[in-house]
Amino acid sequence: MLDYETMQQYTFIVRATDSGDPALSSEVNVVVMVTDTNDNPPSFSQSLYEVYVSELAPRGQFVTCVQASDADSCDADRLRYNILSGDERMVFMIDTETGLISLSNQRRQGMRASFRLNVSVSDGVFTNTAEVSVYMLGANLYSPVFSQRFYLAETRENTPAGSRVIQVRATDEDSGLFGQVTFTFINDLGKSKFSIDANGLITTAQKLDRENPSNKDIVLTVMALDGGGRAAFCTVRVLLTDENDNAPRFRAVEYRMSIKSNVAKGSLVTQIQASDLDAGPNGRVIYSLYSEARLPLVDVLEVEPDSGWMVTKGSLLHLQGTILSFFVKATDRGSPAKHSLVSAFIHVLPPDALVPSFTQPQYSFTIPEDTPVGTALGNIYLAPGQTGAYTAVGGETPDSNQGGTFLVERETGLVRLTRPLDYELVSIFRFKVSATTRRDLIESISTVDVEVKILDINDNKPLFETSSYVAMVMEGMPVGTRVVQVRALDPDWGSNGQVTYSLGLPLNQIQEKRPDRTSAGSSSRITGTSTGSTSSTGTGPVFSIDSKTGWITTLSVLDHEAGPSYTFVVVSSDLGELLQLSSTTVVTVSVADVNDNPPRFEREFYRGAVRESDPPGEVVSVLSTKDGDTTDQNKLVSYHITGKLVSMLDS
């Protein structure tokens, strides 16, 4: 049986011999050409093809090329390819002549994770099949989304480290790595006092004291970042609920007063004043008398529980010449309650004794916080015709002149500043000044309230919540994409504490200017505009910042290959009327790479050579490509032979 695929032609000699004597003969060469017929089925080069395609691949994107061969030479141009099954939604199309599979114009977003295509090849008579497994590589299509942009949490003060505060939640509709979200704190307050785990659970990292000024306003900025560089932000405000951990403290370390023995019932003696740093019932103070003496104190004096005013309750004539020594108790209304005691001394004088009196029921002064030490505020005066020795009575709290911020000159009653002031620590001082007189060997004492109001000056720069910010944004994101929010706080009051934001120079431009001594001194006054920051390559504005909120957004579409990262300065300035103060922070924005560059052959034409006797597997030519993307996954290139093989023998 003849087989074209085994032998295409036969060559032999036919000899003709006659029967004469001698016999004569002649020969002829015979060539038999075997004509090929379609007696062999085509076969694929592989029974299984496995390929990967990005979810972001455009319509018409090359997927793979299936290749088949047919032993019959007559069928070389007759092979036709088709997709038999596995593509019900017509996501793919195949070139029937070349076997090249690409994404069709019917491709839709949200395709399933993988496809199993049953592909056939036919020579018109025989058919063969192969399987093509297409795996979709998840693309970073979606950004994380917090369930809330603002969270309000409450936690008790003094709870141990590791106590639960709140759980923030963010979801990402992407699959795989691009759908995995990690949480981090942006500000130093969050990093130092709290922890956040992979599930968004925020816990305390240390005990927190509500009365600590740094815990007065706890605002945490949380970033949710997915595996591809898309980010979302939320704000968490933490309120510390009060625990009764502070006892009341008095405005004076002791109370000394003189009264005449013939004062009427119900006369005011002095006001006991105490404050409690706690809040609510824990900070409300009630007053009561507390005495271990045998004197019938409750018959002659009482203290109003709410106001602290000490009032005469009965006649004091029988107590003339004595000094009533006792305690006043200040108790808060917490559970359990806390209390403090203060000493009180009441000297009961004869009816004709002199009790000093002041020209005013209260003295008030107002001074700016930058008032120099030693400045005189004004005088405390006794009534005309009276002289005495003045003394400032310190209290148990900073605002009651505990540290001796003010001194009253003994002879003149002049109030003088002895220590620097800080409005942000104490804005109003309230303390007592006593005056002591002596006549006919009888010493008497009275007190008066003094109030000193401090006026704020612009003496504090805005301070950023962290010294540097690190953010990530995916390349190709649209203009206006939020990158990160910077936040600065200024403890000053009014316009002195209002903060605006602007962009300074890129860091490399600042470093270039540093050798210039004339500009080095003005580095804290970088006045970049709030509408854009020049890119590190000088190609134009890249980012903008909202002058009020501190949100940094993109001004152009970022390209990782053109600029993988940007580092620039952000300036926060207050709105002081006479003097504006500013501070800076450094922001570094990394641009995440996406697969947006196709591989390109380094040469347009390659020539190879092979001997006809070379075995299969011999190297014919080496092709090389370049890919503008930088990550290993995006630079991974696969090669396929597409189209028909063209013989160049005729050339």
* 148-205 confidence digits (pLDDT tens): 999 999 999 999 999 999 999 999 988 888 899 999 999 999 999 999 999 999 999 9
* DSSP code per residue over 171-201: E----GGGG-EEEEE-SHHHHHHEEE-TT-E
Mean pLDDT of 520-539: 39
* DSSP code per residue over 196-243: E-TT-EEEESS---TTSGGGSSEEEEEEEEETTS-EEEEEEEEEEEP-
Domain spanning 456-592: CATH 2.40.160.40: no
Specify the CATH number for 354-455; select among 1.20.1260.10, 3.40.630.30, 2.20.25.90, 2.60.40.60.
2.60.40.60
Number of separate helices (H) and strands (E) present in the chain: 5, 48
DSSP-assigned beta bridge partners for residue 42:
none
319 is written with which tokens?
């107590």
Mean pLDDT of 281-285: 96
**CB-based contact 81:64 (threshold 8 Å):** no
Question: Cα torsion for 323, 326, 330, 336, to the nearest 10°?
Answer: 180
pLDDT(7) > 90: no
Q: How far apart are CA 165 and CA 152, in angstroms?
A: 10
Sequence ranges of the domains in the chain: 354-455, 456-592
**CB-based contact 342:252 (threshold 8 Å):** yes
**CB-based contact 631:643 (threshold 8 Å):** no
pLDDT(430) > 70: yes
Q: Among 86-95, 315-324, 518-527, 609-618, where is mean pLDDT lowest?
A: 518-527
Q: How far apart are CA 452 and CA 379, in angstroms?
A: 13
Upstream peptide bond of 368 is cis (omega within 30 degrees of 0): no
Q: Please tell me the predicted confidence (pLDDT) of residue 519.
A: 34
Contacts of 282-285 with C-beta under 8 Å, sequence gap 24+, read 282/242, 282/243, 282/244, 282/246, 282/332, 282/333, 282/334, 283/242, 283/246, 283/332, 284/332, 284/333, 285/248, 285/330, 285/331, 285/332
309 is written with which tokens?
């005013």
Q: Is 608 exposed, middle or buried (0-12, 13-18, 19+ CB in 10 A)?
A: exposed
* pTM of this structure: 0.74
Topology agreement, domain 354-455 and domain 456-592: yes
404 is written with which tokens?
């001796």
259 is written with which tokens?
């009264």
**CB-based contact 83:95 (threshold 8 Å):** no
Q: Mean pLDDT score of the chain, rounded to an integer?
A: 88
Mean pLDDT of 290-316: 84
